Structure 1
Amino acid sequence: MTATATRSPQPGNVPRPNPVKRYVLWPARNLWRSLTSMRTALALLFLLALAAVPGALLPQRSLNETKTEQYIADHGFVGELFDKIGMYEVFSSIWFTAIYALLFISLVGCLTPRMIEHAKSLRARPVPAPRNLGRMPRHESHEVDGTPEEIAAKINGGLRGWRKTTRTVERKQADGTVVTVVEVSAEKGYLREFGNLVFHFALLALLVAIAAGKMFGYEGTRILVADGQEGLCNTSTAVYDSFRAGNLVDGTNLNEFCMQVDSFDADFLPTGQPDMYSAKIRYQVGGDIDNDEWQESDVQVNHPLRIAGDRIYLLGNGFAPTFTVTFPNGETRTQTVPFQPNELQTMMSSGAARFDTPAGLYPNEDERRKNQIALEGLFAPTAVFHGGLMTSSFPLPENPAVAIDVYQGDTGLDTGRPQNVFSLDVNLINQGRLLKKERVNLQQGEQTRLEDGTTVQFDGYQRWVSLQVSHDPAQNWVLVSAIAMLAGLLVSLLIKRRRVWARITPLTESRFGDAAPRAPTSAEEPTSHSQVDPSTLDVRRSVVEMAGLARTDQAGWGEGFPDMVADLLGLERKNAPSGK
Structure 2
Amino acid sequence: MPTALMLLLLLALAAVPGSLVPQQSADPNGVTQYKLDHPTLYPILNHLQVFNTYSSVWFSAIYLLLFISLIGCIIPRVKHHVQAMLAHPPKTPSRLTRMVGYRAEPAPEGTDALAAITAAQKLLRSQRYRTVVLTGPREISVSAERGYLRETGNLVFHIALLGVLIVVGIGGGFGWTAQRIVAVGQTFVDTNVNLDSFNPGRFVSGDNLPPYSVRLDDLKVQYESSNVNAIGQPLDYDASVTATKANGAVTKTHIKVNHPLQIDGTNVYLLGNGYAPVLTIRDASGKVIGRQVVPFLADDANLTSQGVVKVTDGLPKQLGMVGVFMPTAGRAANGQLVSTYPGLKNPRVSLTVYQGNLGLDTGVPQSVYELNTDKLTQIAGPDAKAQALDLGIGQTAQLPDGLGSVSFDKVERYASLDIHRDPTQGWVLVFAMLILAGLLTSLFVPRRRMWVKAKTDASGAVTLEYAGLARGEDPRLEEAVAALASAHVRRVSADAESVG
The two structures have a TM-score, normalised by structure 1, of: 0.78
- Find the counterpart in structure 2 of residue 176 from structure 1: none
For 1:70 and 1:391, locate their aligned partners in 2 and report how far apart those are by CA, in whole Å: 19
TM-superposed CA distance for 1:411, in Å, is 2.9
Query: What letter is aligned with 2:164?
Result: L
Query: What letter is aligned with 2:119?
Result: K
Query: What letter is aligned with 2:114?
Result: E
Q: Greater CA deviation, 406-415 or 260-269?
A: 406-415
Call closer, same or farther: CA 1:342–1:391 in 2, change over 3 Å: same
TM-superposed CA distance for 1:75, in Å, is 4.4
Which structure 2 residues correspond to residues 14-53 of structure 1 after superposition, within 5 A? 38-53=1-16
TM-superposed CA distance for 1:496, in Å, is 0.3
TM-superposed CA distance for 1:557, in Å, is 2.7
Q: Greater CA deviation, 476-485 or 69-78?
A: 69-78
- Find the counterpart in structure 2 of residue 299 from structure 1: 255
Call closer, same or farther: CA 1:339–1:430 in 2, change over 3 Å: same
Matched, 1:396 2:343: yes
For 1:430 and 1:82, locate their aligned partners in 2 and report how far apart those are by CA, in whole Å: 32
Matched, 1:169 2:119: no
Q: Is the 8 A contact 1:342 1:348 kept in 2?
A: yes
Matched, 1:153 2:134: no
TM-superposed CA distance for 1:343, in Å, is 1.3
Matched, 1:374 2:320: yes
- Find the counterpart in structure 1 of residue 465 from structure 2: 545
For 1:553 and 1:384, locate their aligned partners in 2 and report how far apart those are by CA, in whole Å: 65
**What is the DSSP-based 3-state SS (H/G/I as helix, E as strand, rest coil) of the residue aligned with 1:501?**
strand
For 1:482 and 1:375, locate their aligned partners in 2 and report how far apart those are by CA, in whole Å: 50
Where in structure 1 are there 5+ consecutive unaligned residues?
Answer: 1-37, 172-178, 359-367, 512-540, 573-580
Q: Is the 8 A contact 1:215 1:249 kept in 2?
A: yes
Call closer, same or farther: CA 1:430–1:197 in 2, change over 3 Å: farther
TM-superposed CA distance for 1:126, in Å, is 0.9
**What is the DSSP-based 3-state SS (H/G/I as helix, E as strand, rest coil) of the residue aligned with 1:418?**
coil
Q: Is the 8 A contact 2:466 2:481 kept in 1?
A: no
Q: Structure 1, residues 172-217: CA drift from partner, whole Å, max 9, x if none?
A: xxxxxxx3x2210111111000000000001000111111110000
- Find the counterpart in structure 2 of residue 237 from structure 1: 192
TM-superposed CA distance for 1:69, in Å, is 4.5
For 2:427 and 2:22, locate their aligned partners in 1 and report how far apart those are by CA, in whole Å: 28
For 1:444 and 1:458, locate their aligned partners in 2 and report how far apart those are by CA, in whole Å: 5
Call closer, same or farther: CA 1:191–1:149 in 2, change over 3 Å: same
TM-superposed CA distance for 1:73, in Å, is 5.5
Which structure 2 residues correspond to residues 78-97 of structure 1 after superposition, within 5 A? 78-97=41-60
Q: Greater CA deviation, 146-155 or 383-392?
A: 383-392
Call closer, same or farther: CA 1:105–1:222 in 2, change over 3 Å: same
TM-superposed CA distance for 1:281, in Å, is 0.7
For 2:407 and 2:11, locate their aligned partners in 1 and report how far apart those are by CA, in whole Å: 54
For 2:155 and 2:93, locate their aligned partners in 1 and report how far apart those are by CA, in whole Å: 29
The alignment-based identity, stated in percent, is 36
- Find the counterpart in structure 2 of residue 448 from structure 1: 397
- Find the counterpart in structure 2 of residue 524 from structure 1: none
- Find the counterpart in structure 2 of residue 250 from structure 1: 205
Q: Structure 1, residues 274-293: CA drift from partner, whole Å, max 9, x if none?
A: 111110110111432xxxx5
Q: Greater CA deviation, 53-62 or 544-553?
A: 53-62
Query: What letter is aligned with 2:430?
Result: V
For 2:331 and 2:38, locate their aligned partners in 1 and report how far apart those are by CA, in whole Å: 33
**Alignment RMSD (CA, Å):** 2.5
For 1:109 and 1:157, locate their aligned partners in 2 and report how far apart those are by CA, in whole Å: 40
Matched, 1:207 2:165: yes
Q: Structure 1, residues 239-268: CA drift from partner, whole Å, max 9, x if none?
A: 111110110111222223111111100011
Matched, 1:277 2:237: yes
Match of 1:411 among 358, 361, 384: 358
Matched, 1:221 2:187: no
Match of 2:154 among 171, 175, 196: 196
For 1:453 and 1:238, locate their aligned partners in 2 and report how far apart those are by CA, in whole Å: 33
Q: Is the 8 A contact 1:355 1:372 kept in 2?
A: yes
Q: Is the 8 A contact 2:390 2:397 kept in 1?
A: no
TM-superposed CA distance for 1:158, in Å, is 1.9
For 1:65 and 1:569, locate their aligned partners in 2 and report how far apart those are by CA, in whole Å: 74
- Find the counterpart in structure 1 of residue 214 from structure 2: 259
For 1:373 and 1:77, locate their aligned partners in 2 and report how far apart those are by CA, in whole Å: 29
Query: What letter is aligned with 1:420?
Result: S
Call closer, same or farther: CA 1:481–1:128 in 2, change over 3 Å: same
TM-superposed CA distance for 1:567, in Å, is 1.7
Match of 1:474 among 399, 403, 424: 424
Call closer, same or farther: CA 1:192–1:112 in 2, change over 3 Å: same
For 1:47 and 1:254, locate their aligned partners in 2 and report how far apart those are by CA, in whole Å: 36
Q: Is the 8 A contact 2:452 2:465 kept in 1?
A: yes
Greater Rg, structure 1 or structure 2? Answer: 1
Matched, 1:105 2:68: yes
